[in-house]
Chain A
Amino acid sequence: GQSLEQPSEVTAVEGAIVQINCTYQTSGFYGLSWYQQHDGGAPTFLSYNALDGLEETGRFSSFLSRSDSYGYLLLQELQMKDSASYFCAVSTTGGYQKVTFGIGTKLQVIP
């Protein structure tokens, strides 16, 4: 099966940088993705890494190390609207890319 670990809660100050780590154990790993979910809302896609390295999309960056089964999401210039839950998810090749989510990290941005 698949297992993912990420911190349950993180608090950071507006304007700062925060890193949310994710470690995973799975067979047939294909890629690691990140999703954002505001309270009462649906998850929305942020980024996807299939290869080692850093992917940057605006204020958000995502990193993957396949050899370490580890990735992180980096949020820069934090804004109050970034307060949300962030989920890492692994895609596996079995069953045409099954996507399994972690428990989620609740990020609170404070003034």
Chain B
Amino acid sequence: DSGVTQTPKHLITATGQRVTLRCSPRSGDLSVYWYQQSLDQGLQFLIQYYNGEERAKGNILERFSAQQFPDLHSELNLSSLELGDSALYFCASSAGGEKLFFGSGTQLSVL
């Protein structure tokens, strides 16, 4: 158990809809990272927060947004969903960038 909690584990929705993925980091970790992993693909970096502030942005679509709350949990919002957004979304937390602890992921299926 990495100590990082992601909910929900599975999400099935329709095109055009909006969903929210939630992540609770390990106790004491201030950094939260979001990654997207499509079938047989690597981990695409989306966005990183540190203690509530956005610190780095990757290839995140404008339809996607995220935030980190004062209690350090983070949410990734995906809107106007398309079939191509179907993927496994991972959250990871870290005290520094040397070692990331990953949650079990949210499998998103857009039908």
Is A103's CB under 8 angstroms from B56's CB? no
Query: Cβ of B90: which chain A residues have Cβ within 8 Å of it?
Result: 42-43
Is A95's CB under 8 angstroms from B48's CB? yes
A101 contacts the other chain (Cβ, under 8 Å)?
A: yes
Cβ-defined partner of A43 (8 Å) among B31, B55, B58, B102: B102
Closest chain A residue, CB of each to CB of B105: A42
Query: Cβ of B92: which chain A residues have Cβ within 8 Å of it?
Result: 43
How many residues on chain B are close to A (CB under 8 Å)? 28
Is B102's CB under 8 angstroms from A48's CB? no
Query: Cβ of B102: which chain A residues have Cβ within 8 Å of it?
Result: 42-44
Closest chain B residue, CB of each to CB of A43: B102
Interface string of B76-101 (1 = CB under 8 A from A): 00000000000000101010111111
Cβ-defined partner of A30 (8 Å) among B56, B94, B97: B97
- CA A76 – CA B57 in complex, angstroms? 37
Query: Cβ of B58: which chain A residues have Cβ within 8 Å of it?
Result: 98, 100
Query: Cβ of A104: which chain B residues have Cβ within 8 Å of it?
Result: 42-43
Q: A41: shortest Cβ distance to chain B, in Å?
A: 8
Cβ-defined partner of A94 (8 Å) among B43, B56, B94, B104: B56
A binding-site residues for B, Cβ under 8 Å: 30-31, 33, 35, 41-45, 48, 50, 87, 89, 91, 94-104
Contacts A42-B90, A43-B100 supplied; 5 other A-B pairs, CB < 8 Å? A31-B97, A42-B102, A98-B56, A99-B94, A101-B35
B binding-site residues for A, Cβ under 8 Å: 2, 31, 33, 35, 41-45, 48, 50, 55-58, 90, 92, 94, 96-105
